[in-house]
Amino acid sequence: MNKKPISAVVVANGQFPTHPTPLSALREAKYIVCCDGAADVFISNFGIPDAIVGDCDSISQENKIRFADRLYPDSDQYTNDLTKAVNFCIDRGIKDITIVGATGKREDHTLGNISLLAEYGLQVKVIMITDYGRFTPIHGETTFDSTPGQQVSIFCIDSEPITLTGLKYPLENALLTNWWQGTLNESLGREFTVSTQGRVIVFQAF
């Protein structure tokens, strides 16, 4: 009997990654779930995913037939395909999810996918890796490994006080009311800390 995977990489239907870091995550993945809109590109560039999830209106008919044994249709119109793929993983007991290919192409999809991290982070350990950096959702005091000079941006989802230490522009119980206000910061050393009771998304540039 095959062991259930405890981690997975979800491939979203944005720009397929080209940077070595997200590509490495794909190569090292124990279990890969493709949103159906990403399946054709993934199969052409990388191989065969373990599961294909979504409303199945974007995958080619050829691959729909070829990989019918790993196709999991979900017609829920109140969630997007990325959320369907993440929920698919959670329902199977997967505790650690890395998302790639979720940015690029349409900006509205990019913003939506990034903001959804705040929802996923309440249920499971999750990060999003792009060609430019890493997004990590948090909802409590968290210390991040870093390097001096690393570019860091903080996006507050909830209107809760936030304290930043170890960054070039520190904050003490500040309220950030717009996403731009926490952008373009910089790490001073090997770690920095974000303290808040609200949901926050932290971006660290490569």
pLDDT of 126-157, one tens digit each? 999 999 999 999 999 999 999 999 999 999 99
Q: What is the pLDDT of residue 75?
A: 82
Contact by Cβ (8 Å): 11, 49: yes
Q: What is the pLDDT of residue 2?
A: 55
Q: What is the dihedral of CA 168, 173, 178, 182, to 10 degrees?
A: 10
Of the pLDDT bands very low, low, confident and very high (cuts 50, 70, 90), residue 99 is very high
> In the chain, what percentage of residues exceed pLDDT 70?
99
DSSP string across 29-56 = -SSEEEEHHHHHHHHHHT---SEEEE-S
What distance in Å separates the CA atoms of residue 167 and residue 200, rounded to the nearest whole number?
16
Which domains are assigned to the chain? 7-131 (3.40.50.10240), 138-205 (2.60.120.320)
What distance in Å separates the CA atoms of residue 114 and residue 135, rounded to the nearest whole number?
8
Here the tokens at position 57 are 């209106």
When pLDDT is averaged across residues 24-41 and rounded to a whole number, the result is 95
Q: What is the pLDDT of residue 55?
A: 85
Of the pLDDT bands very low, low, confident and very high (cuts 50, 70, 90), residue 181 is very high
Q: What is the pLDDT of residue 109?
A: 93
Of the pLDDT bands very low, low, confident and very high (cuts 50, 70, 90), residue 30 is very high
Instruction: Name beta bridge partners: 100.
Output: 11, 129
Here the tokens at position 169 are 């522009």
Phi, psi of 152 (to 5 degrees): -135, 135
* Letter string b/e over residues 55-79, b meaning 16 or more CB atoms within 10 A of that residue's CB: bbeebeeebbeebeeebeebeeeee
Contact by Cβ (8 Å): 185, 152: yes
Please say if the pLDDT value at position 1 is more than 50.
Answer: no
Nearest to 99 by CA among 122, 124, 129: 129
pLDDT tens for 78-95 read: 889 999 999 999 999 999
pTM confidence score? 0.94
